[in-house]
Amino acid sequence: MSKSILIRGGRVIDPSREIDEKMDVLIVGDKIAGLGREAAGSADEVIDADGLLVTPGLIDMHVHLREPGHEDKETIETGTAAAVAGGFTAVACMPNTDPPLHSDAEVEYVLRQAELVAHTRVYPIGALTKNRAGRELAEIGLMVKAGAVAFSDDGDGIADTAVCMRAMEYVSQFDRLFIQHCEDTSLTRGGCMNAGLTATRLGLPAIPAVAEVIMAQRDITLARQAGVRYHVAHVSAAGTVDLVRRARQEGQAVTAEVCPHHLLLTEEMCARYDPNLKMNPPLRSQADLQACLEGVRDGTIGCLVTDHAPHVNSEKELGFQDAPFGIIGLETALPLFIRALIDSEVLDWPQLIAAMSTRPAQLLGVSGGTLKVDRVADVTLIDPEIEWKIDAEKMRSKSRNTPFDGWPVRGRAVLTMVGGEVRYRAEQE
Ligand code: DOR
């Protein structure tokens, strides 16, 4: 007999069915077996969810797990341990590994390794071009067969318009999501922070917002022609938000995501020369931040992601100009999005869960994102009120590169269940 678990008395939020009410959830084996009154009765285990939110498991569609090749920064095991502690039941991992995920062999490797060691579901994102070099198409068809859920050269955008067009046409044939890291590197080469007054004052080489906007603009035109579902990774600039909004208003299949740091931090902070404030795209102006918030509020930006980008201390201890781009995010995303979006009433809870679970599941075409009966029991229990302090030293990620260390925050995942198995409980801390 399969094990049954009753999650009792929580505020159940399921954006896939517009449910937001206090009820019970029954899980039998690896599936959701009933909600509300359907769930009444006994179970092998009862979890008291009084005062907690019960939501479909969170899904982060933009994570760097670093395996294969950079296991000093993170592994599939440590990255997904961090994920599950942050309330995520699934992550989609970017292909800028070494070797890159650019053929079926690497995609299969990640899936096999995940099978052995992962704490969450792991969905590989295949590279669009060989070696992510932007010149020759990668083996997209074989990677689809092997299990790649989407395609991107993330870390880089595809500069060559003809290659980009062909990649879009190819990806559209398989109805996979085309995710672009929008950056025209002819405008950004050597830059380490946003182009603006602060960069000028600090004398640092800069990355203008228009470098993001111009690639998004080209791509939206190309994607319309290619008929591909097009997704802008880590939006940071007001101009990009405007473009995505307009394309969506015209009915084009364009979507976008944003990270917590682009909703909470601005370029002025780089005056501290703290390499944990260095990421790509960089922290932008207050006006860009406001535009991103507005984009989230009106649904232009429908997905909330981390861009979890671990780097070892020795790299992040370099000077601001020399340190690599990127910060970790899996264990801090939920409270930071609460602060940026719930506390400021940009989103309500069902909208936040839709952007952190239901929508990513739909875009990637993967399980989860719902509490429908008979679907996989990927469930996150959230204490929305608990107050705590972010402590980089306590993190499960192998890396410590966060600018949020020491921040007082509110809200966190207290239990994460993948396929009916409890994979994380906060009491374990
Ligand atoms: O900050 C970033 N770090 N941006 C990227 O696009 C890549 C990522 C990484 O892999 O470190």
Residues 192 and 257 in one domain: yes
Residue 294: how many CA atoms within 13 Å on its side-chain side? 14
Least confident of 35-49, 97-111, 127-141, 370-384: 35-49
Question: What is the rounded CA–CA span in Å between residue 210 and residue 180?
Answer: 15
Least confident of 30-39, 186-195, 315-324: 30-39
Quick one: average pLDDT of 47-71? Answer: 98
Residues 39 and 184 in one domain: no
Residues 29 and 101 in one domain: no
Q: How many domains in the chain?
A: 2
Whether 155 is in the pocket of ligand 1, judged by its Cβ within 6 Å, is yes
Residue nearest to atom 9 of ligand 1 (CA): 309
Q: Which atom of ligand 1 is nearest to the CA of 154?
A: 6
307 annotated active-site: yes
CB 195 within 8 Å of CB 206: yes
Q: What is the pLDDT of residue 412?
A: 98
Q: Which atom of ligand 1 is nearest to the CA of 181?
A: 6
Whether 325 is in the pocket of ligand 1, judged by its Cβ within 6 Å, is yes
Residues 203 and 170 in one domain: yes
Residues 50 and 63 in one domain: no
Residue 427: pLDDT band with limits 50, 70, 90: confident
Q: What is the pLDDT of residue 77?
A: 98
Going from the Cα of 329 to the center of ligand 1, the distance in angstroms, rounded, reads 12
Quick one: average pLDDT of 414-427? Answer: 96
Report if residue 369 sits inside a domain: no
Whether 280 is in the pocket of ligand 1, judged by its Cβ within 6 Å, is yes
Residues 236 and 356 in one domain: yes
Task: Inform me whether the pLDDT recorded for 313 exceeds 70.
Answer: yes
Q: What is the pLDDT of residue 42?
A: 80
Whether 305 is in the pocket of ligand 1, judged by its Cβ within 6 Å, is no
Note the pLDDT tens digit of each residue in 95-121.
999 999 999 999 999 999 999 999 999
Q: What is the pLDDT of residue 1?
A: 75
Residues 344 and 381 in one domain: no
Report if residue 64 sits inside a domain: yes
Residue 386's CATH number: 2.30.40.10
Residues 382 and 353 in one domain: no
CA end-to-end distance (rounded Å), the chain: 31
Q: What is the mean pLDDT of the chain?
A: 97
3-state secondary structure of 166: helix
Q: What is the pLDDT of residue 276?
A: 97
Q: What is the pLDDT of residue 428?
A: 46
Smallest Cα–Cα separation from 66: which of 93, 85, 84? Answer: 93
Going from the Cα of 325 to the center of ligand 1, the distance in angstroms, rounded, reads 5
Whether 100 is in the pocket of ligand 1, judged by its Cβ within 6 Å, is no
Domain that holds residue 121: 57-364
Residues 380 and 295 in one domain: no
Residues 25 and 128 in one domain: no
CB 60 within 8 Å of CB 92: yes
Catalytic residue among 24, 104, 156, 307: 307
Residues 27 and 100 in one domain: no
Residues 125 and 160 in one domain: yes
Note the pLDDT tens digit of each residue in 335-352.
999 999 999 999 999 999
Task: Inform me whether the pLDDT recorded for 41 exceeds 70.
Answer: no
Residue 151's CATH number: 3.20.20.140
Whether 188 is in the pocket of ligand 1, judged by its Cβ within 6 Å, is no
Report if residue 370 sits inside a domain: no
Task: Inform me whether the pLDDT recorded for 188 exceeds 90.
Answer: yes
Residue 166 in tokens:
């062909």
At 143, which helix (H) or strand (E)?
helix 140-146
